[in-house]
């Protein structure tokens, strides 16, 4: 059993959950998400977010639109789809049940 | 004094030192290979490139005009190596320990190698089995032709008796590599890269 590996797996799953949650509040482009997730200490290296975003988009949970930027390269703004919203509410329920159960078990 | 080049990253132009350029393109190539099997490979790369572009822009805002190798190294550390990006083993990276398991080798089997053959792939298979250059074995077989021809009979016998490596798992056990998902993936990736390389060479020749 490798603790670090388990942590990494957990973080990855939780990252997807958090990305959906953030995008359900408002649309954002990758660097904004990176900043928020880094501040919350959920992201170890920035690159992680790109395969996740691409996967969520290919699964139909996210869509995107391009926007020109005056200060840099064009930005890809991600939006949550209806499917993504449904998925998120499922995840939220699961998460609440999980934290509840884990708290009960670990704190006795 | 250093030679610089001009690059376009996500539509923004940068001056970049030659050594910095080499480092950056090696990094991007590594990522490309890592995600070669992913559906969204190009998208992942373009996302990462666009982030690199932003990072470089921040760094070259003031007096400085040229992207240096230090900038590239910092950007790579920020974005992460491919294995960290996939989150496979930030573990070993973080703690600096070597927890990576030793590669396990499966028992080797003798096959005829259809990818490395002149006649029946016998020499190629022997080469893979004993991990020596197949050409060397071919030379030895050729030499025996002049010394009575025993090698010819041996070759024919082996050709008949030894099975051809038909499947992916045959090929892996021919090389003594364990048949697991990551080895199969590796093998497919290698094949795909070969094909890609060949196509690129072809189109270059045409152009």
Q: pLDDT 10s per residue in chain A (108 long)? A: 677 777 777 778 889 999 999 999 999 999 999 999 999 988 889 999 999 999 999 999 999 999 998 888 889 999 999 999 999 999 999 999 989 998 999 887
B177 sits in the region (left: phi over 0; alpha: psi -120 to 50; else beta) called beta
Q: Is B89 a residue whose pLDDT tops 50?
A: no
Interface of B with A in 76-115 (CB under 8 A): 78-82, 84-92, 94-95, 99
Instruction: Give the pLDDT mean for B142-167.
Output: 84
Distance from CA of A30 to the nearest CA of B (A): 8
What is the ipTM, given to two decimal places?
0.85
What pLDDT is attached to residue B104?
52
Chain A nearest-CA residue for B31: A47
Q: What pLDDT does B88 receive?
A: 57
What is the architecture of the domain spanning A7-96?
Orthogonal Bundle (1.10)
- Virtual torsion, Cα B193, B198, B201, B202, nearest 10 deg: -140
Of the pLDDT bands very low, low, confident and very high (cuts 50, 70, 90), residue B190 is confident
Cβ(A46)–Cβ(A106) below 8 Å: no
DSSP letter string over B51-80? HHHHHHHHHTSSS--EE-HHHHHHHHHHH-
Element of type H or E holding A85:
helix A82-107
Beta-carbon separation of A44 and B31 below 8 A: no
Entry field: residues in chain A:
108
Distance CA B63, CA B118 (A): 62
B12 contacts A76? CB cut-off 8 A: no
Q: Which of B7-16, B79-88, B140-149 has the highest mean pLDDT?
A: B7-16
Query: What residues of chain A lie within 8 A of the CB of B95, using their CB?
Result: 4
CA atoms within 13 A on the CB side of B60: 23
């Amino acid at each position: 059993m490798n603790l670090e590996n388990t942590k990494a797996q957990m973080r990855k799953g939780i990252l997807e959950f958090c990305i959906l949650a953030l995008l359900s509040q408002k649309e954002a482009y990758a660097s904004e998400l990176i900043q928020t997730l880094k501040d919350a200490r959920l992201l170890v290296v920035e690159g992680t977010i790109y395969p996740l975003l691409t996967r969520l988009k290919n699964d139909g949970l996210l869509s995107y639109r391009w926007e020109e930027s005056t200060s840099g390269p064009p930005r890809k703004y991600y939006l949550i789809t209806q499917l993504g919203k449904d998925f998120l509410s499922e995840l939220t329920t699961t998460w609440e049940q999980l934290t509840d159960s884990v708290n009960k078990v670990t704190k006795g | 004094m250093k030679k610089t080049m001009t690059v376009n990253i996500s539509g923004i132009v940068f001056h970049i030192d030659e050594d910095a350029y080499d480092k950056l393109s090696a990094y991007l190539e590594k990522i490309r290979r890592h995600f070669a099997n992913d559906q969204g490979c190009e998208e992942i790369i373009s996302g990462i490139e666009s982030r690199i572009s932003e990072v470089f822009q921040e760094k070259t805002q003031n007096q400085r005009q040229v992207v240096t190798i230090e900038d590239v190294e910092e950007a790579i550390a920020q974005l992460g190596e491919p294995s960290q990006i996939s989150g496979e083993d930030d573990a070993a990276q973080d703690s600096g320990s070597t927890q990576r398991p030793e590669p396990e080798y499966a028992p080797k089997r003798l096959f005829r190698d259809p990818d490395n053959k002149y006649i029946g792939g016998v020499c190629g298979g022997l080469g893979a089995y004993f991990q020596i250059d197949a050409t060397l074995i071919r030379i030895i077989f050729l030499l025996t032709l002049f010394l009575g021809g025993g090698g010819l009979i041996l070759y024919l016998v082996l050709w008949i008796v030894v099975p051809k490596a038909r499947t992916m798992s045959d090929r892996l056990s021919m090389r003594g590599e364990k048949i697991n998902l990551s080895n199969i993936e590796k093998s497919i990736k290698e094949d795909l890269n070969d094909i890609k390389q060949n196509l690129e060479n072809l189109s270059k020749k045409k152009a």
